[in-house]
């Protein structure tokens, strides 16, 4: 079986997917990164290998996400692309005709505007947590509700309360105040969903030409309360792709297939056995000029196999 591998390493989750030659998703894997991306990448490869037939041949590998450079070095990626490109490519493939992509993950959120499958505008929020999944996780924990039940409870609300959602600190204090006033949990939860969507539209989506078809992807798309809040505030149908939680990885695999086809070269994939190797990361600050670059070292068996972070490229050129 000939396949393409896509890896999306984020701050909260690491996703690995496998596409066959017809670009069907045949395996997916979602892992918590837990602050250790190297471990998440190697564990992910091991789990995927166990799911695939022994005669599987990987024709190409793509990496994306905030840890894409690290993933690319460890697995031997053929192409390393940013999240905007990966999510846009996956959205166009999974939902033909998509013009607006709403993506909300655990630590960041983004909006992508497409015209005929081409990215014409985008914005990201990597600073404020009020428009991300971590905001909901924190409030669900405070309310004593499993995050998996959050969306269902929001749909039961009859009199949603308005909660200040511009900042996580204000939102939390406002939520506590509403609890003390005696509002029902489901009404507070609906208010939190509405607050997150308002924050997203006022910050990430501000000034963007949001046209249908609008699709919603990322881990937060599983929350039915957020889905409904977007539809109410935009007045548009919001489509959730089948593989909404692993769209970045799908995009990486699609880009890998395109890269291999265009360049007509064999894959750089190092093989699934890399999951058994030991990798270590370290860093140092270069003081040889005013840039004071923080340089990252990746070692395997005490040998430096990759470096990045210097603006001049000096340290990368010295890799053994």
Kindly calculate the radius of gyration of the chain based on its CA atoms and give it in whole angstroms: 21
Q: For every one of its 320 residues, what pLDDT tens digit does the chain have, with 9 covering 90 and above?
A: 899 999 999 877 899 999 999 999 999 999 888 878 888 999 999 999 999 998 999 999 999 988 898 899 889 999 999 999 999 999 999 999 999 999 987 778 899 999 988 999 999 886 665 567 777 877 888 788 887 888 888 899 888 888 876 666 677 788 788 888 888 888 988 988 888 888 889 888 888 999 999 999 988 898 999 999 999 999 999 999 999 999 999 999 999 999 999 999 899 999 998 888 888 888 889 888 888 888 888 888 778 887 777 888 788 777 65
The two tokens of residue 5 are 């591998």
Give the three-state DSSP class for 278. Answer: coil
Q: Are residues 102 and 236 in the same domain?
A: yes
Residues 202 and 236 in one domain: yes
Residues 106 and 235 in one domain: yes
Residue found under tokens 């996580």: 168
Confidence at residue 51, expressed as pLDDT on a 0 to 100 scale: 93
Residues 153 and 104 in one domain: yes
Task: Point out the domain boundary residue: 189, 218, 240.
Answer: 240
- In this structure, the answer to whether residues 78 and 105 fall within a common structural domain is no
Indicate whether 207 and 301 sit together in one domain.
Answer: no
DSSP 18-44: EEETT--EEEEEEEE-TT-HHHHHHHH
Count of domains in the chain?
3
Query: In terms of Cα–Cα distance, which of 98, 40, 57, 54 is closest to 251?
Result: 98
Please indicate, yes or no, whether residues 11 and 67 belong to a single structural domain of this protein. Answer: yes
- Considering the domain architecture, whether residues 271 and 289 belong to the same structural domain is answered as no
Give the pLDDT confidence of 54-91 residue by residue, as tens digits: 899 999 999 998 889 889 988 999 999 999 999 999 99
Q: 296 is in which domain, residue-wise?
A: 279-318
What predicted TM-score, i.e. pTM, was given to this entire model?
A: 0.85
**Same domain for 176 and 105?**
yes
- In this structure, what CATH number is given to the domain that contains residue 7? 3.30.420.40
Tell me how far apart the alpha carbons of residues 316 and 203 are, in angstroms, rounded to a whole number.
Answer: 37
């Amino acid at each position: 079986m000939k396949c393409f591998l896509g890896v999306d390493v984020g701050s909260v989750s690491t996703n690995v997917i496998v596409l066959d030659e017809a670009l069907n998703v045949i395996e997916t894997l979602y892992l918590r990164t837990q602050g250790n991306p190297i471990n998440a990448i190697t564990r992910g490869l091991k789990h995927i290998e166990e799911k695939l037939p022994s005669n599987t041949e990987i024709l190409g590998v793509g990496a994306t996400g905030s840890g894409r450079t690290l993933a690319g070095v460890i697995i031997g990626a053929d192409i390393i692309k940013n999240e905007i490109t990966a999510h846009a490519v996956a959205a166009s493939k999974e939902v033909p005709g998509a013009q607006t992509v709403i993506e909300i993950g655990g630590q960041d959120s983004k909006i992508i505007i497409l015209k005929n499958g081409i990215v014409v505008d985008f914005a990201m929020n990597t600073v404020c947590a009020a428009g991300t999944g971590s905001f909901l996780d924190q409030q669900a924990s405070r309310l004593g509700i499993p995050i998996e039940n959050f969306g269902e409870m929001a749909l039961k609300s009859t009199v949603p309360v308005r909660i200040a959602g511009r900042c996580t600190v204000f939102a939390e204090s406002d939520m506590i105040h509403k609890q003390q006033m005696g509002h029902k949990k489901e009404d507070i939860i609906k208010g939190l969903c509405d607050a997150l969507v308002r924050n997203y539209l006022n910050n990430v989506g501000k000034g963007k030409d949001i046209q249908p078809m609008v699709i919603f992807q990322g881990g937060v798309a599983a929350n039915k309360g957020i889905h409904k809040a977007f539809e109410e505030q935009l007045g548009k149908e919001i489509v959730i792709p089948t593989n909404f939680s692993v769209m970045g990885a799908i995009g990486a695999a699609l880009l890998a297939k395109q890269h291999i086809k265009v360049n007509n070269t064999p894959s750089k994939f190092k093989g699934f056995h890399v999951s058994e190797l030991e990798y270590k990361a370290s860093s140092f600050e270069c003081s040889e000029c005013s840039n004071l670059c923080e340089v990252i070292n990746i070692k395997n068996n005490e040998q430096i196999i990759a470096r990045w972070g210097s603006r001049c490229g000096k340290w990368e050129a010295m890799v053994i």
